[in-house]
Amino acid sequence: MIQPSLIEALVNQPICIVDLRNTSDFVENHIAKSISIPCHQLAERLFELPSKAHPLWVVGEARSIEVATDFLSQRGYHIQGETAVENIDWKWLSSIRARQFGGEMPVLWHPTPILKKYHHLIAQHRQTTPTTALDLGCGSGRDALYLSMLGCDTTGLDIRQDLLDKAVVMAEQYDCQFTPWCVDIEAEPHLLSPNCYDIIVVFRYLHRPLFPYIKQALKPGGLIFYQTFMQGAERFGKPKNPRYLLQGGELTQTFSDYKVIVKVEENLHDGRPISSLVAQKPK
């Protein structure tokens, strides 16, 4: 049987517990504060995990643990430990309130840091009006779902249907809603209707011809959150094409007619320079 002290440590420490069993088994019972990602779905649901610096603990059948540990370790995740499900005493877990039922899971993934840091600006906006939001180039949808969790009526736009499909699955897992929109917006920028969104977020994406369309799509008084790589990032990795790299001060200049709330140019831990802006469109 699994050691009591180990379970107590798992539940009380900041460890991400990943349950590798089928969803139906997870719903029947699971260790408190764990998330359900069946072993065969790991590759397509990596975006639900926290950062690679965050320790993981895997739970499941022996073979699943072996496969998952190898897969995650090769991708830079730190596996702090493992628990074979056959060693778990579920009755004892219930006695210490470390056993849970149902499909509800904690949110262990994080949105883009600047969005999380300044989410109170969105909350202030929502005090006066229902809030519509657009995540432009949303990828697998973490920021779009975060906006939905904040109470925004959110649209996630991306050219890749496969990424939007992942976002839809993730939305179902965390019981939140957003509208996926698959479109080549670079080819059809006119689809960004004027004065349509209260919040627009653009992270790690740059197509300069879209700037005027983004600005017109934002409602008066609306907020733009923009963050992407700057020139110099090519020395450390991707992106390398200068078309996808901002010049110093470019975001501030582009939105010079807005009220700039936050402007930061800094380096990520891997050395790549990045520019961040939060600004409000004139009312």
Secondary-structure breakdown of the chain: helix, strand, coil percentages, each rounded to the nearest 5? 35, 25, 40
Q: Residues 191, 196, 199, 202: what is their CA dihedral angle, to the nearest 10 degrees? A: 10
Provide the phi-psi class of 235: left if phi over 0, else alpha when psi is between -120 and 50, else beta.
alpha
Q: How far apart are CA 145 and CA 74, in angstroms?
A: 28
Residues 227-249: b if buried by 16+ CB within 10 A, e if exposed = bbbbeebbeeeeeeeeebbbeee
What CATH number should be reported for the domain whose range is 4-100?
3.40.250.10
- Say how far apart CA 44 and CA 104 lie, in whole Å: 20
CATH superfamily membership of 113-280? Vaccinia Virus protein VP39 (3.40.50.150)
- Amino acid identity for residue 103 in this structure: G
- Round to whole Å and give the CA distance between 278 and 90: 48
Which residues make up the CATH 3.40.250.10 domain(s) of the chain? Answer: 4-100
- Asked if 205 and 135 touch (Cβ cutoff 8 Å), the reply is no
HSE-up of residue 248 (Cα within 13 Å, Cβ side): 3
Q: Which residues does 127 contact at the CB level (< 8 Å), separation at least 6?
A: none
Q: Could you tell me if 142 and 47 are in contact, meaning their C-beta atoms sit under 8 angstroms apart?
A: yes
Closest CA to 60 of 18, 6, 108: 18
- Where in the chain are all domains bearing CATH 3.40.50.150? 113-280
Cα 34 → chain centroid: 18
Per-residue pLDDT of the chain (283 residues; tens, 9 = 90+): 555 555 655 666 678 899 999 999 999 999 988 999 999 999 888 888 888 888 899 999 999 999 999 999 999 999 988 889 998 888 888 888 888 999 888 887 889 999 999 999 998 887 767 799 999 999 999 999 999 999 999 999 999 999 999 999 889 888 888 999 999 999 999 999 999 999 999 999 999 999 999 999 999 999 999 999 988 878 887 888 888 898 999 999 999 999 999 999 998 888 888 999 999 999 9
